[in-house]
Amino acid sequence: VGKHCESGDIVVRDAWMSDDVTPGDLLGVAATGAYCYSMSSRYNLIGRPAVVAVRDGRARLILRRETVDDLLSLEVR
C-alpha cells in the first residue's frame, strides 16, 4: 500500500470493492494506524497527505498536502 518500500504495509486485506471503482478514484479509509496524520512521519522523504474532514456529506480541506519544499524546509545547507 502507498509509496513506502515495506512489504508488510497493508491497510485492508481482502476488501470488497464496488465494480465501478476505477484507477484515479479517491477512496477513504477510516482507520489507518500509522498511516493516520498524527502518527505519520517523513519516512523515505514522503510528504504527508492532505486531511479532509467530512460532515453531513460535505468535505472540507483542513490540512493541505505537504510539498517537497515543506520536506526540505528543515534541511541545513
Residue 47 has pLDDT above 90, yes or no: no
> What pLDDT does residue 23 have?
92
Q: What are phi and psi of 42, to 5 degrees?
A: -105, 35
With helix as H, strand as E and coil as C, how does 20-62 read? Answer: CCCCCCCCCCCCCHHHCHHHCCCHHHCCCCCEEEEECCEEEEE
> What pLDDT does residue 5 have?
65
Is residue 64 within 8 A of residue 47, CB to CB? The reply is no
CATH of domain 1-77: 2.40.37.10
The DSSP letter of residue 68 is H
Domain boundaries of the chain, sorted by first residue: 1-77
With CA atoms as reference, report the closest residue to 41 among 66, 60, 64, 7. Answer: 66
Residue 67 has pLDDT above 70, yes or no: yes
Q: Which of 3, 5, 19, 38 is catalytic?
A: 5
Per the annotation, the verdict on 5 as an active-site residue is yes
Residue 15 has pLDDT above 70, yes or no: yes
> For residues 53 and 65, what is the distance between their CA atoms, to the nearest angstrom?
14
